[in-house]
Amino acid sequence: MQRSRVIIDVGALRRNVRTLRRALDGAELWAVVKADGYGHGAAAVARAALEAGATALCVATAGEGLALRREFGAARVLVMGPTGRDELRDAREARLEIVVSGADVPVGLPIHLKLDTGMGRWGLAELPTPPVDVVGVMTHLASADCDERFTAEQVERFRSATADLPERLVRHVANSAGALRFPAARFDAARCGIALYGLSPFGEDPARDGLEPVLRWESELAQVKMLAPGQSTGYGRRFTARRPTWIGLVPVGYADGFRRDLTGTEVLVGGERRRVVGTISMDAFAVELGAELSVGTSVTLIGDGVLAEEHARISGTITYELVCGIRRSEERSDALVADD
Ligand SMILES: *Cc1c(COP(=O)(O)O)cnc(C)c1O
């Protein structure tokens, strides 16, 4: 049985790339496809992003970079997280570019020096005179989604620290939030992740920034039953019917990435919004129905106006974490790529 399907709309992804490129006004767009393309599938996302004009791919680990190199022989690939000494040889052979945040600067591959301007995570306190292999300088914004003043301070620190460096070094600062709302953070290139996927870096309706959700998640009712007053559904009996209540069971649970804290969120059942009730199980959850519906009625978990942002709010998390957790493995859900 096909328990659920994830559909990736690469046409929407290409349109998001174009929207971001317009916002960037001439700066390059680098597509961030770490964590398997934020759960969307790195290869499909990378291909569509490059086709639509992204000029580099960014990942967190050397392993992710090597996997991309096998599919994309010519693309510029930047590893943003730390690369271990044991990974350098493979990274060199695969022509990966790496980010260096410490005193030890490897040789023989293109390096981006990372300055810590306020993220307080990876990054150098001061930039050294760049060794020959350095091709770029960068920093990462801590709160471009929510704190304009601090973002402006970070941009200014980066600007003054890099003012005297050679022109040839590519300067990159902005993430999605920076690219969309901070013209001063654009520099030569922006590293955009979440917005590529049509998800709002601000936790708002992505349409406000002209973005279209790329991931659609659908399933169907696998069982429909009537709860008599006093009967409950699910572990811990957290939902008990007060009056005769139709419920539908959807064969998707927290093992698929439909998190246990999503109780109370809404999904579409046969095109109507319905509330998720009771405790979400590992492989199933329940929805309250207004009437008896047939088994096989469509259920849209994300899509057709049901936004990942709504679910994230109910879960007390961000869309990043929610979509990274969606399992696209064969036996859990079938991932399909829709063309435009
Ligand atoms: C993940 C990441 C990004 C992308 O951030 P979004 O908010 O998804 O656009 C950019 N830069 C670095 C260093 C990152 O780790």
Name the domain boundary from 198, 231, 258: 198
Catalytic annotation on 114? no
Domain containing 101 — which CATH number?
Answer: 3.20.20.10
Q: Give me the domain span that covers residue 79.
A: 10-198
Is the pLDDT at 9 greater than 70, yes or no? yes
Question: Pocket of ligand 1, candidates 40, 64, 99, 175: which has the most ligand atoms within 8 Å of its Cβ, to mutate?
Answer: 175
* Pairwise CA distance, residues 338 & 166, whole Å: 44
Displacement of CA 103 from its chain's centroid (Å): 31
pLDDT, mean of residues 6-20: 97
Cα four-point dihedral sign 301, 307, 311, 314: negative
Q: Where are the beta strands (DSSP E) in 51-169?
A: 56-59, 77-79, 97-100, 111-114, 134-138
Count of domains in the chain? 2
Displacement of CA 45 from its chain's centroid (Å): 11
pLDDT, mean of residues 176-183: 97
Compute, in angstroms, the gap from residue 304 CA to the centroid of ligand 1.
27
- In this structure, what token pair is assigned to residue 308? 């990942």
Catalytic annotation on 225? no
User: What is the 8-class DSSP label of residue 330?
Assistant: T
Domain containing 318 — which CATH number?
Answer: 2.40.37.10
pLDDT digits (tens, 9 = 90+) for 61-102: 999 999 999 999 999 999 999 999 999 999 999 999 999 999
pLDDT, mean of residues 16-30: 98
**Amino acid in the structure at residue 298:** S
* Pairwise CA distance, residues 161 & 115, whole Å: 9
Q: Is the CB of 175 under 6 A from ligand 1?
A: yes
Whether residues 284 and 169 share a domain: the answer is: no
Is the pLDDT at 329 greater than 80, yes or no? no
Whether residues 310 and 193 share a domain: the answer is: no
* Pairwise CA distance, residues 293 & 281, whole Å: 22
Residue 241 lies inside a defined structural domain of this protein: yes
* Pairwise CA distance, residues 97 & 80, whole Å: 9
Whether residues 64 and 130 share a domain: the answer is: yes
* Pairwise CA distance, residues 273 & 241, whole Å: 19
Residue 204 lies inside a defined structural domain of this protein: no
* Predicted pLDDT of residue 1: 74
Name the domain boundary from 136, 165, 198: 198
Whether residues 190 and 328 share a domain: the answer is: no
Whether residues 153 and 287 share a domain: the answer is: no
Whether residues 14 and 163 share a domain: the answer is: yes
* Predicted pLDDT of residue 200: 97
